[in-house]
Amino acid sequence: DLATALNDRGQVRYLRVEFAAAVEDYTAAIECQPGFEVPYYNRGLVLYRLGDYDEAMKDFRKVLELNPHFEDAALSLKQAILDKEDKQKRGY
């Protein structure tokens, strides 16, 4: 289906370090199928990598709302919270 295809294309772009394009594909996949948790997770990973912890945490929380058993999202959320707190402690 279209949402899966967009998510998959986002993965390819992510691997090519085309982060903005990957985020666009993940967002399009979400718009196509809002209940599909995987593109939220993938977009969250890109946002996390870019240092946008707040937006990444929103995506990881949405994943867990849609699928409470998505363990990688729970771990990623915890890491984003820790990294945000660390960044704030260092005054960035």
- What residues contact 63, with CB distance under 8 A and at least 6 apart? 37, 40, 41, 44, 70, 73
- For residues 67-75, give the mean pLDDT: 98
Confidence (pLDDT) at 28: 98
DSSP letters, 5-29, are HHHHHHHHHHHTT-HHHHHHHHHHH
Q: Which domains does the chain have, with CATH numbers?
A: 2-91 (1.25.40.10)
**pLDDT, tens only, 13-70:** 999 999 999 999 999 999 999 999 999 999 999 999 999 999 999 999 999 999 999 9
Confidence (pLDDT) at 92: 72
- Structure tokens given for 66: 């849609």
Task: Compute the distance between CA of residue 59 and CA of residue 54 in angstroms, rounded to an integer.
Answer: 9
Confidence (pLDDT) at 91: 81
- What pTM did the predictor assign? 0.94
Helix axes 37-49, 2-15, angle to 10 degrees: 20
